[in-house]
Amino acid sequence: SENFPIKVLTNIDWDKLVELFSRSLIFWHASGMGEDESRHPEKFEHFGITTVEAMASGCIPVVINKGGQTEIIQNGYNGFLFESWAELKEITLKICSGNTDFNSIKENAAKSSKKFSSVNFERELLDLIQVEIDNLGSA
């Protein structure tokens, strides 16, 4: 990140994270890069809560095309998936070039993040429970 406006921060508190997400354009996630997914699945993000949090804050997610990230990101719609460091660089440069309007991707990312909200989770869980209750009543 030398000579670029990039900072790598670790173990920051929640309020600082939210503030940084709100000021950021891109969210990178590469957990598991270079690992064999079939041999070491634990090296990969299984869900990707930080990706969803970044999306909710308006970041464009650029994430590894492995693990749970593939269940969250629709490539080119609400973010981008990459397979290699070269592809990560290419996508990042395209976003930063300013030649393309990425507002729709940011909006789609924010909308998509709502699918994983606690309110939506509770609603879907209650719907499943109701289906089971209805099935018991008709048995």
- The domain segmentation of the chain, as residue ranges, is 14-113
pTM value > 0.85: no
What dihedral do alpha carbons 96, 98, 104, 105 form, nearest 10°? -20
Per the DSSP assignment, residues forming a β-bridge with 75 are 79
Per the DSSP assignment, residues forming a β-bridge with 26 are 60
Average pLDDT of the segment spanning 127-132: 90
CATH of domain 14-113: 3.40.50.2000
How high does pLDDT run on average in the chain? 89
pLDDT tens-digit map of 77-108: 999 999 999 999 999 999 998 877 889 999 99
Q: Where are the beta strands (DSSP E) in the chain?
A: 26-29, 60-64, 80-82
* Residue 76 three-state SS: coil
